[in-house]
Amino acid sequence: MTVSPIATFHSPITTKFGVPRQSGIVESLRGEIVFLPEYRNPDFIRRLEEFDYIWLLWLFSANSHQATHPTVRPPLLGGNTQVGVFATRSPYRPNPIGLSSVRLEGITVEPDRGPVIHVLGADLMDGTPIIDIKPYVEYADAHTGVRSGFVDSYEWKKLQVEMAPEVAALWDKQQRDTLIDLLALDPRPHYHDDPQRIYGMNFGGYDVRFRVADGVLVVVEVEKMDK
């Protein structure tokens, strides 16, 4: 079986570090789906604009090695508990395929890129290959009141984010709010807890550096990235 990309995802997050661990948890995070030239015929997405959400199937293209182990250590469980790979959404799987439900914000047609799909809440980094797009259908895809395994016993604790006014002014309000939401999710590996360590996250053309202590994330430096 041969699977080839149909499109490329574009995001303000250019590395794996900082990408939300699930789709939808940072609802304001904007992204674009740009089709490869052979799929830029608008007929491919005719009537897609009638749906509020779509499914994206994509490739974990940034993984540097093939997964061969039957278990993984989910960050949700602190990175120390073994769970079967097919009981998780880990990127390290025999077939490195991701599945995300994202909100369809709109579709534009551009002279140089053809139809461009604008979405919200994706958990994909910039440059991710898209291999398929399907409409989200509520009666078939939504299941309420169901068990979610070990996820049900985990309480997501967000960090308080602090940054200087001059740093916050580097982005417009929408981008700034999105960045704060991303940082509040604590992008660090869950087994890291060094209050002196400085981490860097690429967002919107900037390297955002921060440290975390006692539930507070402080942005300590921001540097413009070279294009």
d(CA 165, CA 170): 9
Do residues 214 and 225 touch, judged by C-beta distance below 8 A? no
- 130, 187: one domain: no
Output the six-digit token pair for 16.
């794996």
210 lies in which domain range?
Answer: 160-224
Residues 44 and 114 in one domain: yes
In this structure, is residue 47 part of a structural domain?
yes
48/51 Cα distance (integer angstroms): 6
Bridge partner list, 59: 97
Residue where the block lists tokens 């940072």: 26
Identify the CATH number of the domain in which residue 220 sits: 3.30.2310.20
Q: For residue range 62-107, list pLDDT tens digits in order.
A: 876 777 889 988 877 877 789 999 999 888 889 999 999 999 999 9
Task: Report, as ranges of residue numbers, the positions in the chain whose pLDDT lies below 70.
Answer: 64, 227
Nearest 10 degrees: Cα torsion 108, 110, 114, 115 = 0
Amino acid at 137: V
Other beta carbons within 10 Å of 109: 10
- Domain contains 155: no
**Shortest CA distance to 15 belongs to which of 127, 162, 138, 121?**
127
CA–CA separation, 210 and 216 (whole Å):
10
Residues 181 and 111 in one domain: no
pTM of the predicted protein model: 0.91
The structural domain count of the chain equals 2
Can you tell me the distance from the alpha carbon of 169 to that of 154, in angstroms, rounded to the nearest whole number? Answer: 35
pLDDT for the residue 13: 95
Give yes or no: residues 15 and 57 share one domain: yes
| 170 part of a folded domain | yes
User: Would strands 53-59 and 97-110 be described as parallel, antiparallel, or unpaired?
Assistant: antiparallel
- The DSSP-derived string for 164-177 is -HHHHTTS-HHHHH
Which pLDDT score, from 0 to 100, does residue 141 have? 96
**What pLDDT does 227 receive?**
64
